Amino acid sequence: MIVPIKQIIAKAKEKKYAVGAFNTSNLEITLAIVRAAVAEKSPVIIQSSESAIKYSNLETLFNMMTTIANTIGKSVPIAIHLDHGHDLNLVKQCINIGYNSVHMDASDKDFATNVRLSKQAVKLAHSKKIWVQAELGSILGKEGLVKLETGEINMKDLMTDPYQAEDFVARTGIDTLAISVGTIHGQFRGIEKVDQRRLKKINSLVKIPLVLHGGSGLSSKIFKEAIKNGVSVINIDTNLRVAFKKALLSQLKKESDLIDPRQILAPSTEAMQKEVVKMIRIFGSRNKA
């Protein structure tokens, strides 16, 4: 059932576990996330990116997420979140349609611009009791990884500065902070690094819940240490995509004459559900509904 995101995240921070924020863009992924949450009696955050909204249409995607959350997922607390909203106009649209939380991501801008855009989002969202996540530091993707490998950029220069984070939160009034502590968006072999010391310092200075992006591919040990050091929300996307693709290819190879999309996609939905269950258990949110 859809509930205020504060209800979900505040409890996670207090009890020292993390809630999974899983990206969706279609019916099958959403079903997998919600079915896993129900099976594990776990709170969960369903989130959509700008590209997912562009693919599916905002109204369609939002109505699908909320309908499934309030029917299949009626026994567990669920929140709907906008992930990496770079466009303030889209952030406004998500606030107006009823998202529980929005991510105003201006981390690619200078500090002053990031503060200004984050404050604007806070003003709009808080008037409707909606939470705002902002981001400080850079969380890279595939292109950034190439630049790291060639020495064009240094990972430490991209990470969140603890003292700047304290100042940023005070200036903006945001509710959650996405931080850069070494993770990278996507799933890349060898990316098993989180600057736990930096994370712990940020947590000591910033009193709002911290969000870890780029979590796919990390070990359970690293996840658990990050949660111990202050992370309350962990974003997962690539893990589900990989599970979907593997199951889909296997099903098509095994049953090449299938033409019913439901039979073709059912194994992929089941595979993603198993992946969400695995993450829920690692994050410690099982039986926390």
Locate 129 and state its tokens. Answer: 């009791």
Q: Quick check: is 105 catalytic?
A: no
Locate 264 and state its tokens. Answer: 């073709």
- Annotated active-site residue in 83, 105, 175, 237: 83
Q: Taking Cα atoms as reference points, which of 56, 48, 42, 53 lies closest to residue 12? A: 42
How far is 115 from 257, CA to CA, in rounded Å?
55
How far is 227 from 170, CA to CA, in rounded Å?
23
Locate 180 and state its tokens. Answer: 């850069």
Residues annotated catalytic, as ranges: 83
